[in-house]
Amino acid sequence: MFMAIKLKVIKAKKIINKMEEICREILMSITDYTTDEISSMLKIKPGTVLSRIHNCRKKLFRIHLNEAGNRIIENNFLKEYNN
């Protein structure tokens, strides 16, 4: 169980590292800091922090779905090719 969670965290970090700087900053900060602390560090309003978190999570989810979809397509292609 722990290994599966660790692998998901590693995968999420790899995806986050591919994202634009704004999203990297926000998504890597939310586990260690409160909204107010991030707001203070980035010198933006707390509402802006929440908005960016929301938007960046949506982007992260889309990237994840896209990569998962590509793996499914590749796996199906390999199955068909090998038959």
**What are the 10-residue block averages of pLDDT along the chain, 83 residues in total?**
77 87 91 94 95 93 80 57 55
Cα diameter, the chain: 58
Domains of the chain and CATH, by start: 16-82 (1.10.10.10)
Show the tokens assigned to 21: 């700087």
Show the tokens assigned to 11: 């995968």
> What is the rounded distance in angstroms from the CA atom of residue 27 to the CA atom of residue 22?
9
Can you give the pTM of this predicted structure? 0.70
